[in-house]
A and B are shown apart, each in its own frame.
Chain A
Amino acid sequence: MSGSPRRLPLALALLGVVCAVLVLVLDAGQPVRAVAGVPLVLALPGTALSFCLWPHGRVNGAERTALSAGLSLALAALTTLALHAVGIALGTSSWAIALGGESLVAGLVATARAPGATPPHPGRRFRLLPVVLAVLAAGLVGGAGVVTGISASDQRDSVHFSQLWALHGPAGTLRLGVRNLEGSTQRYVVRAQRDGVGLRVWRDVVLSDGATWTTTWGPRAGSGKVLVTLNRAAFGPSVYRHVDVNVP
């Protein structure tokens, strides 16, 4: 490849700005933001700086990659520290502006420091075998990922339980909650009682797997703990979970 070594640092500087802007304008959770955020933290500042410190042609590809990654990680840590030191809260805008700014400045300095035109590299002949072997390796690694994903998910999903809680709320109220982690939809009955006397029943609390039910309830004043029990409708009257709290 022939051409000016100044193009790449300049492109890095501009890319830093583009990524920072994308991160700032897009909501978290959007795939494009993730795609822009990864190089903004892990690649662009360090790569631009590496072209500043080691101008074009002094480092080979693998070493440039490692240098860029190392410098990016160090810069992410030091930039965060600098923001903290000057009292700027750490968040999307401060990180994006700082890291994008570093990429821009380092990229521009690298552009200025870059040598003139470099002699063209001899073109590499395309070879099929490495491509085939790399695809095969990627397939094996992917297979390892699939095997792991299935077995780890199965193990995680084999644990079935429900959570019941009763927390003190404002002014003598209780914040009750149930979360279904049984792996399937459940029909619950929640009962509150004090000294064996029923205070309140919540029937037909139907929750799909992973869903949560909460309510705030003010029991009548009395002495003794309020006992809250959880039954699963499919398993009859036996108490599945219970909690008890003092409510004045």
Chain B
Amino acid sequence: MSTGAVRAPRSTGAYAAGGPRSRSSGRAGWLLLVLAAAGLLVVAVAFAGARTGATWADPLFWTGLLVIVVPIGFRLLGPDAGRGERLGLVVVLGLTLYAVKVLHSPLWFTNHDELGQYRTTDDILVTGHLLSVNPVVGAYAKYPGLESATAALARLTGLGIFPSGLVVVGLARLVLSVALFAFVERVARSARVAGIAALVYTANPNFLFFDAQYAYESLGIALAAATLWTTVAARGEEDDRRGPALGALILAAGTIVTHHVTSYALAVTLVIWALTDLVRRRRARRPVAWALPLVALGTVVGVVAWAFVAGSSTQGELGPVVRGAFSAVFDVLRGTGQSKQPFSTPPGFADPPLERVVGLTSVGLLLVTLPFGLLAVVRERRRHAALLVLGLAALAYPATLALRLTTAGTETSNRASEFVFVGLGAALGLAVLRWLAPRWQRRRGVRPMAGRGLLAAVAGLLFVGGLIVGWAPYARLPGRYEPAAAARSVEAEGVLDARWAGTFLPRRAVILSDATNDLLYAAYGGLDPQGGQIFGRSAFEVFLAPRFGKGERAILSALKVRYLVVDRRLSLALPRTGRYFGTSDPRAGQYQEPLEPQLLAKFDHVPALDRVFSSGDVIVYDARRVLAR
């Protein structure tokens, strides 16, 4: 009889956990499921309060999250749970936290990436073809894995894009939870380490919201984790490696057509792992296992091949971000650039001091414990060749923090966290098992329990701190409408107006508008928002100029803008995001006062502009007479 391809590995020594069922195995897991559900209910009540502006919503939100995370963390840290219970708890944790995101925005997509990817999904359903042009981010259309699966589900079931997208991303979260656990378990040969790694992974700043949104990375990272899991399974298989290896290649191909950065990270991981494995086997005079090099080679070839299909869109999206990040860091190091204050906010807004303390403490805790994790990886490196790769990922954590010292590098740092935390989780899991578990095992009574309790509380603090570091305060809870406040700006009037445009305006007509309506009209209206620089000026000067003159006409003509979408509510408050308009907003981060209402009302007095639509707050102007001149 063969060994199980993806079956639980043998746990040994101090790492033995998850083997035989423990005394309380099962009952505790079910109780924790109830507790997690109760935490979710608390979060739902907090969100309901936030929608009416209640001040108690914020503390209740954090309480609900801690009720979900800390008890499960306590159980995962301890030795009592069986392997099945640990896996179950990791799945419960992952899916409950996904449910938090769903409860945050239960009616429609509200985030930038979600609305941009909605557009590509809609394009697939409308045109029946892939690889169209996405006006929000070009790469969305060139990496259509998520949109393809969603469009197929929406078409075959008759469900809308929104519910279909929620189901697809929810399923991806399930895959991620199981795959991450199973991969680390194989590599560390301990279900306990795997459980702790999954717990630490939830503390990555993107776990709760960013990687739960309807966006290509949410699916890409799940497929990449499944690729690593099936690869490690194929490598360990003794009688038939073909099946798992083929499965790994299919999952890698799915990753490649779904998300660029994840596929690059996957390829690099597999190559380093394969080379490490090769060296180790040569030293030990063992035969080369072909499954791992095959999957690594296949992934690299696939990534390169797909880069040709995606063309310049990937470079267009990633190039400026990465170049900007690194040049900003070098500028700071050379003393020619300005470093960024942590927790810097646009004028008029400030983060609560307590949040800053918690955020910085969580980062500090990770930095302090990282050396112990790395030491544990070094000590245990003989367990598996992939441990070294996980150690390198963990080692990258301080480097990603350095990127946060600049404004341009913050996004790169944030995006790197979902990869870095895989290694960080495994390393810290090994450290706990190596340094703390033996002490707990030797002692009886209250002290080991207190130690685990303290560590579970630390896990809760890391989770809360990660969320504080990675997600803006105004975006964490739903709430009343605010202009230029990301998800808080997406509400019924804007959505229904954009849907009107989808029914009555010509598809792919070019519009010029603010950041929120750009996304809404692209997603629900099928229109193409325009922006950027033209004639040395930002296109959004059209809105900011005191009068609509020749220069503004020239901008509209040059950009072929057919419709101006003007949201009068922009004059109600300062922009939470620091800018009212797209990335080329000329006054980004400098707004001291809300926009003057006259700036937005000036279009009423332009004879060449037809005011063709009004819902009260949102006005649409037809600029075809401007284009005809």
A interface vs B, CB < 8 Å? 23, 28-30, 33-34, 36-38, 40-42, 49-50, 52-55, 58-60, 62-63, 65-67, 69-71, 73-81, 84, 89-92, 95-96, 99, 127, 129-130, 133-134, 136-141, 143-145, 147-157, 159, 161-168, 175, 177, 179, 181, 225, 241-246
Contacts and interface: CB of A to CB of B under 8 A. Distances in A.
B41 A140 contact: yes
Contact of A80 (B151, B219, B493): B151
B51 A154 contact: yes
Given A151-B51, A156-B107, A164-B613, A59 B156 contact: no
Contacts of A23: 156
Contacts of B374: none
State the main secondary structure of chain B at its contact with A: helix
B360 interface: no
Interface string B585-614: 000000000000000000000011011111
Nearest to B128: A89
A144 B100 CA distance: 10
B351 interface: no
B44 A147 contact: yes
A78 B4 contact: no
Contacts of B611: 242-245
B257 A152 contact: no
A13 to B, nearest CB: 18
A53 B41 contact: no
Given A134-B30, A245-B622, A246-B625, A92 B491 contact: no
Contacts of A65: 174, 178
B131 interface: yes
A41 B129 CA distance: 18
A76 B149 contact: yes
B287 interface: no
B223 A74 contact: yes
Interface string B606-629: 011011111111001010110000
14 contacts: A38-B167, A42-B167, A69-B175, A81-B130, A84-B129, A95-B152, A134-B30, A140-B34, A151-B52, A154-B51, A159-B493, A241-B615, A246-B608, A246-B625
Contact of A162 (B34, B615, B624): B615
A144 B167 contact: no
Contacts of B472: none
B99 A144 contact: yes
Contact of B614 (A66, A139, A151, A242): A242
B48 A77 contact: no
Contacts of A168: 610, 612, 622, 624
Given A66-B179, A92-B156, A54 B247 contact: yes
Contact of A62 (B87, B130, B254): B87
Contacts of A150: 48
Q: Which of A79, A144, A151, A244: most chain B Cβ within 10 A?
A: A144
B424 interface: no
Interface in B452-473: none
Nearest to A175: B504
Contacts of B40: 140-141, 144
Interface string B126-164: 001111000000000000111011011101111100000
Given A159-B491, A245-B612, A70 B257 contact: no
B158 A37 contact: yes
Interface of B: 2, 4-8, 26-27, 30-31, 33-34, 36-38, 40-41, 43-45, 47-48, 51-52, 84, 87-88, 91, 99, 103, 106-107, 124-125, 128-131, 144-146, 148-149, 151-153, 155-159, 167-168, 171-172, 174-175, 177-179, 182, 219, 222-223, 226, 230, 243-244, 246-247, 250-251, 253-255, 257-258, 478, 480, 491-493, 496-497, 500, 504-505, 607-608, 610-617, 620, 622, 624-625
Going nearest first, the 8 A-B pairs with the smallest beta carbon separation are A74-B254, A37-B157, A66-B178, A151-B48, A28-B158, A53-B243, A80-B148, A37-B156
B614 A148 contact: no
Given A62-B178, A161-B493, A164-B614, A71 B251 contact: yes
Contacts of A139: 37
A67 B6 contact: yes
Contact of B155 (A95, A243, A246): A95
Contacts of A162: 615-616
A184 to B, nearest CB: 15
Contacts of B4: 58-59
Given A60-B7, A148-B47, A242-B614, A78 B103 contact: no
A70 B607 contact: no
B451 to A, nearest CB: 28
B27 A129 contact: yes
B29 to A, nearest CB: 9
B214 to A, nearest CB: 14
Contacts of B505: 167
Q: Which of B99, B152, B167, B504: most chain A Cβ within 10 A?
A: B152
Given A34-B157, A129-B27, A141-B99, A84 B131 contact: yes
B431 to A, nearest CB: 27
B432 to A, nearest CB: 24
B247 A53 contact: yes
B48 A167 contact: no
B219 A163 contact: no
B254 A148 contact: no
A65 to B, nearest CB: 7
Contacts of A52: 243
A224 to B, nearest CB: 9
B226 A77 contact: no
A91 B128 CA distance: 6
A50 to B, nearest CB: 7
A149 B103 CA distance: 8
A73 B107 contact: no
Contact of B616 (A29, A42, A55, A241): A241
B149 A73 contact: yes
Nearest to B230: A67
Contact of B246 (A53, A63, A66): A53
Given A154-B51, A159-B492, A144 B7 contact: no
B219 to A, nearest CB: 6
B48 A147 contact: yes
B175 A66 contact: yes
